[in-house]
Structure 1
Amino acid sequence: MKKETEQLWASEKYTVMAKGYNFYKEVQGLIRDAQSDSDYKKVRLLIGVLKEKPYERRALCNTLEHVWGYFKKSAEELDKEHFFSLLNTLRESDEEYYDEIPYEIDLFLQYLLQKYPSDYLSRSTFIQN
């Protein structure tokens, strides 16, 4: 159960982080302290609950900056400019919560992942496939 939960967390951590950084820290702490199958089951259930919450704009921006770290060394300047243009538009938005990642951002993340492959990010639910 431990290995499966850690794999689940690896695939869901950026999605949870984008819902709220406090949720990310909560799950991270629960995994760190988990010792029994019951503890890991609670973590898995909590991740399921958190995935249903809306994205919070500030947390989403923070998560996007984290994800950018996977691309920043190899990305072309034009891709960098476009990414940060999208990020700044999101930051300036009046919307506080989103049911899904804004379409343009989601599409551009997919483009980045295809152009600059990352095995780790390809397993993440944050970048829709």
Structure 2
Amino acid sequence: MKKETEQLWASEKYTVMAKGYNFYTEVQVLMRDAQSTADYEKVTMLIAELKEKSFERRALCNTLEHVWGYFKKSAEEVDKEHFFSLLDTLRESDEEYYDEMPYEIHLFLKYLLQKYPSEYLSRSTFIKN
């Protein structure tokens, strides 16, 4: 159960982070302290619950900046400019919550992942979904 929960957390952590950083830290602490099957089941259930929440704009922007770190050393300037233009548009939005990641930035993340592969990010539901 431990290994499965660790793999689940690895694939879901950016999605959870984009819902709210406080949610991310809550799961992180539970993972660190987990010892029993019941503890890991609690983490699994919490992740499932958090995935149902809306993205919070500020948390989403912070998560996108964090994910950008996987691309920044290899990305061409034009890709960097486009990414940060999309991020600025999101930051300036009047919307506080999103049921889904805005389509244009989600599509661009998929493009970045294809152009600049990252094995770790390729397992993340944040970009895949």
Q: TM-score, normalised by structure 1?
A: 0.99
* Kept in 1: contact 2:122–2:128 (CA 8 A): no
Aligned-partner SS, 1:89: helix
Gaps of 5+ in 1: none
2:29 alignment partner in structure 1: 29
1:60 alignment partner in structure 2: 60
After TM superposition, give the deviation of residue 102 of structure 1 in Å.
Answer: 0.2
1:109 alignment partner in structure 2: 109
State the AA in 1 paired with 2:10: A
2:41 alignment partner in structure 1: 41
After TM superposition, give the deviation of residue 128 of structure 1 in Å.
Answer: 2.3
Partners of 1:116 and 1:79 in 2: how far apart? 11
Question: How many residues end up aligned between the 2 structures?
Answer: 129
Q: Percent identity?
A: 85
State the AA in 2 paired with 1:56: E
| Aligned ranges 1:51-90 → 2 under 5 Å | 51-90=51-90
Partners of 2:121 and 2:85 in 1: how far apart? 21
After TM superposition, give the deviation of residue 70 of structure 1 in Å.
Answer: 0.2
Partners of 1:26 and 1:97 in 2: how far apart? 20
Partners of 1:87 and 1:106 in 2: how far apart? 11
Gaps of 5+ in 2: none
Which stretches of structure 1, 4 residues or more, deviate above 2 A after TM superposition? none
1:19 alignment partner in structure 2: 19
CA RMSD of aligned residues (A): 0.6
